[in-house]
């Protein structure tokens, strides 16, 4: 793995601490220790779950690209997955801030932007691995 990817993945692993801390917030919300309506509870749960899963997926993609010795800029396609790991949870959390929102606010757009980034990034990772594998035959 190149030095830039080592730094990025190292920082990413450290962010798991904040995701775990976020889990304590979600636990307080779900158990009634933090006031929230049903919409907020659902979105906070979804935001937390997506953060954990997408960070893990981003790290797996980084490892796959490094293990496949994917050349050039394709080796950094995992960065899009990690970007989606920020955008999607941010959309869930930030779109329901406030006292008693009845529906998500405008920041829900972050979720949709993250979904688009995720889809394109996974397409890039998959194609990079496939093309590199075929060329190695």
Q: What is the pLDDT of residues 22-52, one digit of tens each?
A: 999 999 999 999 999 999 999 999 999 999 9
Total domains present in the chain: 1
User: Is this prediction's pTM over 0.85?
Assistant: yes
Q: What is the pLDDT of residue 99?
A: 87
Q: Can you read off the two tokens belonging to residue 15?
A: 């962010």
Instruction: Provide the percentage of residues in the chain whose pLDDT is more than 70.
Output: 100
User: What's the CA gap between 68 and 57, in Å, rounded?
Assistant: 16
Closest by CA position to 78, among listed 54, 111, 53:
54
User: What are 67-125's pLDDT values in tens digits?
Assistant: 999 999 999 999 999 999 999 999 999 999 998 899 999 999 999 999 999 999 999 99
Q: By residue range, what is the domain housing residue 105? A: 3-136
102: Cβ–Cβ under 8 A, 6 or more apart, which residues?
37, 39
Position 108 scores a pLDDT of 98
Per DSSP, the three-state class of 29 is helix
The answer to whether the beta carbons of residues 64 and 125 sit under 8 Å apart is yes
């Amino acid at each position: 793995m190149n030095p830039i990817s080592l730094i990025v993945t190292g920082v990413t692993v450290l962010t798991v601490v904040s995701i775990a801390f976020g889990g304590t917030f979600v636990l307080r919300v779900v158990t009634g220790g933090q006031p929230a309506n049903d919409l907020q509870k659902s979105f906070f749960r979804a935001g937390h779950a997506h953060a954990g899963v997408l960070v893990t997926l981003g790290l797996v993609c980084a490892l796959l690209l490094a293990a496949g010795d994917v050349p050039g800029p394709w080796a950094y396609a995992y960065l899009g997955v990690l970007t989606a790991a920020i955008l999607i949870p941010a959309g869930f959390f930030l779109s329901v801030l406030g006292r008693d929102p009845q529906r998500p606010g405008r920041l829900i757009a972050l979720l949709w932007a993250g979904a688009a980034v995720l889809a394109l990034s996974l397409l890039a990772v998959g194609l990079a691995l496939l093309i590199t594998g075929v060329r190695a035959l």
